[in-house]
Amino acid sequence: MRYSLSSIIRNAATGHKHWPKVWRNPEPKKSYDVIIVGGGGHGLATAHYLARNHGVTNVAVLEKGYLGNGNIGRNTTIVRSNYLCPENSQFYEHSLKLWEGLSQDLNYNVMLSQRGALNVFHTPAQRDAAIRRGNAFSLNGIDSVLVSREDVKKLAPLVDCSPNARFPVLGGLLQPRGGSVRHDAVVWGFARAADMRGVDVIQNCEVTGFRIEKGQVRGVETSRGAISARKVGIVVAGRSTLVAQMAGLKLPIESHVLQCFVTEPVKPVLDTVVMFAAAHFSIVQSDKGGLVFNGDLDGYNSYAQRGNMSVVSGVAECAASLMPRLSRLRLLRHWGGINDMTPDGSPFITKTPVKGLFFNGGWCYGGFKGTPASGWTFAHLIANDEPHPFASGFTLSRFETGNVINENGAGPQPGKH
């Protein structure tokens, strides 16, 4: 059922007793043209765009648990496209453009809220680095505005802009189109849209192995039997290493835990997304009123989806110091997501040495905001056996050549990005 004003009124009048299932619950078929391993945001987006852009609808999305139980539901919901490296900036800008039309495209309101994304800087050196980045964005056609301390005060009155702050604010770099999205709605919207185009979205179906013959993928083994396909895409960020290992691939990825935090809901107090150069700390207020933030990685390999207390106190120090009015606001909950961290901080959307087997992962901090473009370009790669121009740099071979896409300049330790 398409959602429209009339369907809403009709259903309200009948006590909402007639809304259909948002997606079918099909049994897996024996064979598909394409199998997508992973029913998270990126996998479902890939299926949607395979069907929508390439007419490939004989597709199964296989999800081990329930849809969206991975990182798509464990992030701070921020979207923006202000990336320095040209490979990243064109990709994330494409993503942001897709976000901007996504609710209409999916006929599902993902609640995009473009209230701006502000990077606050504190020192002349940080200002100069921000100018470099801002100019790079502008030259790539991405909206970007340098703002003064006074502007920061107006945009985010919570931020301590006084000269007495430990790290006084000097100014900021604003992407006005940045903002946030209701993350769960992204999963459900993509799943529903893919399902409506005929894609089989299959939950509780764990892939346990890959069938590979003479270097060509033939299908997958699952907890619900073997399913064949000549094209298989792995999109399981957070568990990339483990799934790829079943196909004999070793990836330049480490799994790290990134904690997210939410406070009790309060009346609107912070309109923009704010990121600080003084510390690895970003914050946004959700539509429900909770302030959502994150800080550094815990810093060690982990699959545990939870972190330790030093990061908890670390983010609290940032919040209470950079926005002192938040001191008595109470932290409600924190949780961890498993980030695929790569040696240069940039992702993979790539073929693999196995013919017909494609890999998407290594999203570091960019996974949520990259969801639509990831699906768009991965679908292109799978459908055409050719990388999409916006993702052609995201190869596994870039470390052999040295053509890394190093967004922040850190060394090859994945946890440092």
Partner 1 sequence: MQIPCPWCGLRPLDEFAYGGDATKKRPTGKRQADTSAWVDYVYIHDNPAGRHREYWQHVGGCRSWIVITRDTTNHAISKAELAPPDSRGGRR
Partner 2 sequence: MSGQSNRLPSGGLIDRTRVISFTFDGRTYSGHPGDTLASALIASGIHLVGRSFKYHRPRGIYSSGSEEPSALVTLGEGGRTEPNIPATMVEIFDGLVARSQNRWPSLSFDLMAVNSLLKPFFPAGFYYKTFMWPRSFWYRLYEPAIRRAAGLGTVAELPDPDSYEHAHAHCDVLIVGAGPAGLMAAQAAARAGARVVLADERAVAGGHLAGESIEIDGRQCADWAQDLYAELSELENVRLLPRTSVFGRYDGLTFGAIERVSDHIGADTPNLPRQRRWTIQAKQLICAAGAIERPLVFEGNDRPGVMLARAARNYLNQYGALPGRNVVVAANNDDAYLTARDFVDAGADVTVIDGRPQEIVTGSALLADGVDVRFEQCIAQARGKMHVSSVRLASVDGTGESEIGLPCDLVCVSGGWNPTIHLLSHCGGRPRWNERIASFTMGKLENDVQAVGGAAGTFDLQKSLHEGVAAGVSAAKACGAKPSRTVTAPSVDKLPSYGVQALWRALDSVSKSGAAFVDFQNDVTVADLEVAEREGFGHSEHAKRYTTLGMATDQGKLANVNAIGILSELLGTPIAETGTTTYRPLYTPAALGTLAGQRQGHEFRATRHSAMHAWHEKNGAVFTDAGLWLRPYYYPREGEDFAAAVKREVLNVRSAVGMVDVSTLGKIELKGPDAGTFLDRLYINSFSKMKVGRARYGVMLREDGMVFDDGTVTRLAEDHYFVTVTTANASPVMQHMEFCHQVHWPELDVQFCSVSEAWAAMAVAGPKARDTLERIVQGIDLSNEAFPLQSVANAKIGDAFVRVFRISFSGELAYELYTPANCGLGVWEAIMEAGAQDGISAYGTEAMTVMRTEKGHVAGPELDGRTTADDLSLGRMMSERKDYIGRWLAARSGLVGEGRIQLVGIKPVNVGDRFRMGAHLVNAPGAIGPDVSHGHVTTSVYSPACDHFIGLALLKNGRNRIGERIFVASPLHQEIVEVEVTHPVFVDERGERMRG
The contact set with partner 1 (CB under 8 A) reads 239, 241-242, 250-255, 299-304, 308, 310, 343, 399-400, 412-415
Tell me how far CA of residue 37 lies from CA of 107, 110, 112, 204, 277, in angstroms: 25, 23, 27, 12, 37
Is 67 an interacting residue with respect to partner 2 (CB under 8 A)?
A: yes
Q: Residue 251 binds which entry of partner 2, partner 1, none, with Cβ cut-offs from 5 to 8 Å by kind?
A: partner 1
246 interacts with, out of partner 2, partner 1, none, CB within 5 to 8 A per kind: none
Give one DSSP letter per residue of 216-256, joined into a string.
EEEEEEETTEEEE-SEEEEE-TTSHHHHHHHTT---S-EEE
Among partner 1, partner 2, none, partner that 128 touches (CB below 5 to 8 angstroms by kind): partner 2
Quote the DSSP letter at residue 344: T
**Which CB sits closer to partner 1, 120 or 311?**
311
Taking the least distance from each CB to partner 1, the nearer of 176 and 252 is: 252
Q: How many CB atoms lie within 10 A of CB 55?
A: 9
Sign of CA dihedral 122, 149, 179, 270: positive
Cβ atoms of 345 and 417 within 8 Å: the answer is yes
Q: Which two tokens stand for residue 46?
A: 């890939």
Q: Which helix (H) or strand (E) holds 379?
A: helix 371-384
- Among partner 2, partner 1, none, the one that 216 touches (CB under a kind-dependent 5 to 8 A) is none
Nearer to partner 1, 77 or 342 (CB): 342
Take residue 225 and report the two structure tokens written for it: 């039997």
C-alpha dihedral over 350, 351, 354, 358, to 10 degrees? 60
**Which CB atom, from 66 or from 248, has the smaller least distance to partner 2?**
66
Closest distance of CB 12 from partner 1, Å: 46
Residues 145-204 interacting with partner 2 (rule: CB under 8 A): 145-146, 158, 160, 164, 166-167, 182, 184-185, 188-189, 203
30 binds, among partner 1, partner 2, none (CB under 5 to 8 A by kind): none
Out of partner 2, partner 1, none, what residue 350 binds, judged by CB under 5 to 8 A for its kind, is none
CB 82 within 8 A of CB 136: no
**Residue (317 or 385) nearer to partner 2, CB:** 317
Q: What is the amino acid identity at position 184? A: D
259 Cβ contact partners less than 8 Å away, ≥ 6 residues apart: 294, 295, 298, 306, 307, 311, 312, 315, 334, 335, 336
Triad 133, 139, 143: Cα angle to 5°:
75
- For the window 78-97, what string marks contact with partner 2 as x by the rule CB under 8 A? --------x--xx-------
Q: Which does 4 bind (CB under 5 to 8 A by kind): partner 2, partner 1, none?
A: partner 2
Instruction: Considering only the stretches 46-54, 144-152, 217-225, 236-244, report the one whose residues sit in contact with partner 2 under the rule CB under 8 A.
Output: 144-152
Q: Which is nearer to partner 2, 232 or 275 (CB)?
A: 275
Cβ closest to partner 2, residue 97 vs residue 335: 335
Kindly state whether residue 404 participates in binding partner 2, applying the rule CB under 8 A: yes
